[in-house]
């Protein structure tokens, strides 16, 4: 380990700071060795498809420390045995290590494309079959902002007698609890149009609560994207800023499972920083004046 010493620092402070850094590095190495990292990395990939690399190792390590403190275990080796044998603790562990950044109307261009292109296309397609229900899956829904955004938008734009059903899933039980509650602090409702806020939320102490009628249109459920969802004939899938955490093999597997779950003519939205380019998939790329997305047309 090399240390760059500013010339203005007193020798005693230099020695103290160097020793603190050295011993902290030693403690971290003892807590989570390279062998431990490789073992956890392989296990996490096997159980969820999420990939950790040396670049984001520190994230895994810090979240492991947080979880171990919470349940009173002081060894990553002991904890590894626990998550290998305890399915409930495995869910808690995967909850701890996942990133859950979201907001209402995140990436507005996607919702513009949904309103102005995708929904009109789906109505044209489905009205020929006499089926007036649009089935949607928000995969990796986090704390619920995405499915609630979709529900508000469709409530506004779908003509009678059209209806919609939304399945919203996530690997984080903690996030799903927040989503099901439908309560958001004031700093979380940024981006919601005032007309939507007045129509679909109640102002309560400390924030806003989603109306029960809107909440009833969404079914929240735990799901690990590593597994088949059992869903079929979906018209629309949102899975944004999720597959970016998977390697190419896991990404392809997830995308192919979406294909199997979707109707013969349907649409897929992924994150703006994600792409199916170069992936072995049958989805077609669609570019509109509002946003890009993918479609299944067979």
Domains of the chain: 32-97 (1.10.155.10), 108-297 (3.40.50.150)
Buried b (16+ CB within 10 A) or exposed e, 70-91: eeeeeebeebbeebeeeeeebb
In which band, very low, low, confident or very high, does the pLDDT at 23 lie, cut at 50, 70 and 90? very low
Q: pLDDT (tens digit, 9 = 90+) per residue, 168-184?
A: 999 999 999 999 999 99
Identify the bridge partners of residue 165 per DSSP, sorted by sequence position: 135
Q: pLDDT (tens digit, 9 = 90+) per residue, 209-237?
A: 999 999 999 999 999 999 999 999 999 99
Q: Which of 54, 89, 49 is nearest to 239 (CA)?
A: 49
Residue 29 has pLDDT above 60, yes or no: no
Copy the structure tokens of residue 62: 């810090």
Contact between 169 and 229 under an 8 Å Cβ cutoff? The reply is: yes
Task: Give the relative orientation of helices 11-31 and 57-71 as an angle to the nearest 10 degrees.
Answer: 80
Residue 163 has pLDDT above 90, yes or no: yes
Residue 40 has pLDDT above 50, yes or no: yes
CA dihedral 7, 11, 16, 21 (to 10 degrees): 30
Q: What is the pLDDT of residue 100?
A: 72
Q: pLDDT (tens digit, 9 = 90+) per residue, 113-158?
A: 999 999 999 999 999 999 999 999 999 999 999 999 999 999 999 9
Contact between 223 and 229 under an 8 Å Cβ cutoff? The reply is: yes
| Other CB atoms within 10 Å distance of the CB of residue 17 | 13
Q: What is the pLDDT of residue 55?
A: 85
Helix residue ranges per DSSP H, the chain: 11-31, 34-48, 57-71, 76-85, 87-97, 108-113, 119-127, 145-157, 173-181, 194-200, 212-215, 248-261
Q: pLDDT (tens digit, 9 = 90+) per residue, 46-90?
A: 999 899 999 889 889 999 999 999 999 989 999 999 999 999 999
Copy the structure tokens of residue 197: 């806020």
In which band, very low, low, confident or very high, does the pLDDT at 16 lie, cut at 50, 70 and 90? low
Q: pLDDT (tens digit, 9 = 90+) per residue, 251-292?
A: 999 999 999 999 999 999 999 889 999 999 999 999 999 999
CA dihedral 218, 224, 230, 235 (to 10 degrees): 50
Q: 3-state DSSP call for residue 171? A: coil
């Amino acid at each position: 380990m090399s240390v760059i010493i500013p010339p203005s620092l007193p020798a005693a402070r230099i020695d103290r700071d160097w020793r603190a850094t050295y011993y902290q590095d030693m403690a971290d190495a003892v807590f989570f060795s390279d062998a431990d990292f490789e073992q956890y990395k392989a296990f996490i990939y096997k159980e969820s498809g999420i990939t950790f690399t040396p670049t984001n190792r520190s994230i895994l390590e810090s979240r492991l420390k947080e979880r171990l403190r919470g349940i009173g275990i002081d060894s990553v080796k002991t904890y590894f045995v626990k998550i290998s044998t305890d399915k409930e603790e495995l869910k808690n562990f995967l909850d701890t290590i996942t990133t859950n950044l979201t907001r209402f109307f995140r990436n507005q261009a996607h919702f513009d494309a949904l309103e102005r292109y995708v929904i009109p296309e789906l109505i044209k397609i489905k009205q020929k079959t006499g089926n007036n229900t649009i089935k949607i899956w928000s995969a990796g829904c986090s704390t619920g902002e995405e499915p609630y955004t979709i529900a508000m938008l469709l409530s506004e734009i779908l003509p009678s007698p059209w209806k919609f059903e939304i399945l919203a899933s996530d690997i984080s039980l903690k996030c799903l609890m927040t989503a099901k509650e439908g309560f958001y602090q004031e700093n979380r409702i940024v981006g919601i149009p005032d007309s939507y806020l007045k129509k679909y939320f109640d102002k309560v102490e400390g924030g806003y609560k989603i109306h029960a009628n809107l909440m009833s249109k969404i079914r929240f459920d735990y799901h690990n994207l590593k597994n088949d969802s059992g869903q079929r004939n979906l018209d629309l899938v949102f899975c944004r800023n999720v597959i970016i955490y998977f390697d190419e093999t896991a990404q392809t597997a997830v995308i192919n499972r979406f294909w199997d779950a979707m109707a013969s003519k349907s649409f897929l939205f992924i994150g703006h920083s994600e792409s199916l380019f170069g992936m072995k998939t049958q989805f077609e790329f669609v570019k509109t004046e509002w946003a890009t997305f993918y479609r299944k047309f067979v």
